Structure 1
Amino acid sequence: MDAALRIGIIGLDTSHVTAFTKLLNDPSDANHVPGGRVIAAYPGGSADFPLSMDRVGGFTQELRGQYGVSMMETPEAVAESVDALLLESADGSVHLEQFRAIAPYGKPVFIDKPLALSSREAYEMAELAQQYDIPVMSASALRYSEGLVSALAET
């Protein structure tokens, strides 16, 4: 029996999805993080956001072909089949809608940047997380980028 945490990804239009999946699913990677495995995903994509639509196909194919991730028809189908979720859509305007769809499943969620496009949306997400007793985290690694660290050190 596989004791690894089953992880699902919603939104396959950012390079973060391949980076996270590689770290979790590839034991030969020097930075492999054991204990979890991406097993299911919903490609998503935003029709009115070219950066999203132009990239979703390639990242979807890579997750399916290289890492054996099952593609699902809806965010809800992903939520049903996993223990935890990564909400990765590059277009922050869809995060609230996607979070509304998965919140009733009560699974822990990481929401990639941007969390939301307004404080109202962020507040509603926080209310849903509280209602369904969901641990939620959102963060950006940009605070560790060399350029930002250098600029902050100069202030």
Structure 2
Amino acid sequence: MLHVKIIDSSIEKIEISKAERFLKSEKFGAVIYFVGVVRDNNENKKVNGITYDAKDSMVIKSFEEIYNETEQKLGIKNKAVFIEHVKGHLKLSEKSILIGVACKHRDEAYRLSRFIIEEIKKRSPIWKKEHYENEDSKWLKGISITT
């Protein structure tokens, strides 16, 4: 079971309650949420916001591929995964990504959650532009993938 979505920050916000409704099941004994939020500094620079850009169809495809790999790579068959990522401008403390996972046991849920966020950071075409206190801004370098 999978839910994936790119959210336009000018229209809506990430809501944990949506993930709770999606993941609720008597089959699962462990539910874990990872929430990424905008922090106020990076590399000794005062950050006052972030703009995310993404190629929506490619991001959705990458999320689906990551989900589909989890059974083979982690051995987790019975699971539910909820992923939403924001596109657009965010202020400090606003949610940029929500990953919710539900599994039979907590060990599976922790491993699954960690795998998903690490793979998203490596593989998904999402770009981040930091806006700084001095009114400068900078697109950050992503993680290079070697194949």
Specify if TM > 0.5. no
TM-score normalised by structure 2 residue count: 0.26
Structure with greater helix share of residues:
1
Give the number of the structure with larger relative contact order, counting CA–CA contacts within 8 Å between residues 6 or more apart.
2
Structure with greater strand share of residues:
2
TM-score normalised by structure 1 residue count: 0.25
